Amino acid sequence: MGDGESRPLVAGRLRDGQWHGVDTAAAVLLALAFGASETLRDGGGAGAVAAALWLPVAVRRRRPLLVLYPLLAGAVLAMLFTGWEESWLPVAAVLYTVGAREPRRPSVTALVCSLGAVAAAVALVPRPVPASGVASGVLLASSMMTLPWLVGTAQREQRSYAELAARQAVTDERLRIARELHDVVAHHLTVIAVRAEVARAVASTDPQEAGRTLALVGSAGRTALTEMRRMLGVLRAPGDGTDPGTAVGLADLPALADGAGPRVELSVDPGPPLPPGVELAAYRIVQEALTNAVKHAGSADCRVRVSRTDPGAVEIEVVNDAPPRSPSRLPARRPDGGHGLVGMRERAAVCGGTLSAGPLAAGGFRVHARLPCAPDTAR
């Protein structure tokens, strides 16, 4: 739905200055209408009072509370000294704005004060009616002031929730992009660092192996730059519908395995396409598992298997049989243990799946994930 379809026909197109003009015109027209009516019924004095009470409605948007309390005092005096019982009507109009624009506590205080003052004034207006008539008048005035306030309060709460949802959406998007950047940088830089060490170690004894390893380093660097440019391009041009994560999936696993090293055994069962979110999660889980293998085991000797055990789920298994490097050669670990396993579990949980990871009895490490997918996309 476009912006023009989602906005109200009039309210969504008026600016603040134009709304002030609408308020001024409405206040003047109401002042003339009620002033003329009261003049015909009770004389010029009552008409002047009615007109004077409606005119402050023109500035109700600027300072609602500063308009309300003087207007409330004037309305009470008008009821007591002129007998105009409908003087609570302009108060009700301003109460709507108070409910829509002011915070909860001053807004509730304003409503309580208005109800108490107007109810007391209506009850004290001298007129030859029984107590039941007075009670009905108080109830009518209270109801007609409370309803606009409730409508205004509902609009304020709706705006508040919409703003909160918008802020949460921005936060979620930033976290998602940060997670994507972490996956890209952690994987490729780990491959580059480890392969560069291997190339240096074998440069004098096996120049051909060193050359192949340096080629992998160059490929990993170019791939990382390509993915980061794509994601940063989305950040520079938000709202164009581009998702930095949807460009990678199971079809990119062979390139990922080749970039990690020549000793990755990859098996991907052919099957119907997965939902984009599930496919991205599967790719990133494999990527992070290979990163951990290169980083902590010093080897990319892995078996990667992606299979469709049933039409409603995809299973991912990454096994590294290589024993871990000696402590002296292990990279320094962060005090918090890093975010690799946490990120993989989070991705699986977002898809409604599960992930288990742990060392093997004979050495090495195994990561296993099961991600459900919608039945209609699995067929």
| Cβ contact 52:104 at 8 Å | no
Question: Which structure tokens are listed for 211?
Answer: 């050359």
Tracing tokens 């950040």 back to the chain, one arrives at: 235
Q: Of 298, 297, 315, nearest to 306 (Cα)? A: 315
Among the ranges given (74-78, 147-151, 188-192), the one the predictor scored with the smallest mean pLDDT: 188-192
Q: How much is the pLDDT for 9?
A: 45
Q: Which of 63-67, 127-131, 177-181 has the highest mean pLDDT?
A: 63-67
- Contact 128/94 with Cβ under 8 angstroms? no
pLDDT value of residue 301: 74
Q: Which amino acid would we find at residue 339?
A: H
Question: CA-CA distance, 213 to 199, in Å (whole number)?
Answer: 6
Q: How far is CA 348 from the centre of its chain?
A: 21
The DSSP letter of residue 267 is: E
Phi-psi region of 210 (alpha: psi -120 to 50; beta: other; left: phi over 0): alpha
Distance CA 379, CA 376 (A): 6
Write out the H or E segment, with its range, that includes residue 345.
Answer: helix 340-350
Share of the chain above pLDDT 70, in %: 72
DSSP 8-state class, residue 332: P
Nearest CA among 295, 100, 283, 99 for reference residue 197: 295
Q: List, for residues 308-337, the tens digit of each pLDDT value.
A: 877 788 899 999 876 655 444 444 444 344
The residue type found at 220 is A
**Neighbour-count burial of 324, counting CB atoms closer than 10 A to its CB (0-12 exposed, 13-18 middle, 19+ buried):** middle
Please write the tens of the pLDDT for every residue from 118-143.
Answer: 888 877 876 655 666 678 878 888 88
Beta-bridge mates of residue 303: 265, 319
Beta-carbon contacts of 108 under 8 Å, excluding residues fewer than 6 positions away, are: none
What CA–CA distance (Å, rounded) separates 356 from 253?
Answer: 21
| Collapsed DSSP state (helix, strand, coil) of residue 126 | coil
pLDDT band per the 50, 70, 90 thresholds, residue 98: very high
pLDDT at 192: 77
CA distances in angstroms from 215 to 208, 219, 293, 297, listed in the order given: 11, 6, 20, 21
- Lowest-pLDDT range, 182-196, 209-223, 264-278? 182-196
Q: Name 137's Cβ contacts closer than 8 Å, sequence gap at least 6.
A: 85, 122, 123, 129
Could you give the CA distance from residue 276 to residue 44 in angstroms, rounded to a whole number?
74
Assign 177 a pLDDT band (cuts: 50, 70, 90). Answer: low
**Length of the chain, please?**
379
Q: How far apart are CA 12 and CA 101, in angstroms?
A: 17
Name the amino acid, one letter, at 86: E
Residue 3 pLDDT more than 60? Answer: no
pLDDT at 345 over 70: yes
d(CA 49, CA 271): 80
CA distances from 233 to 106, 226, 243, 351 (A): 46, 11, 10, 26
Cα 267 from Cα 270, distance rounded (Å)? 10
The whole-angstrom separation of Cα 188 and Cα 167 is 32
Query: Between these two residues, 107 and 214, which has the higher pLDDT value?
Result: 107
> Would the pLDDT of 188 be above 90?
no
Closest by CA to 302, choosing from 312, 315, 292, is 292
- Yes or no: say if 268 and 288 are a contact pair by the CB < 8 Å rule: no
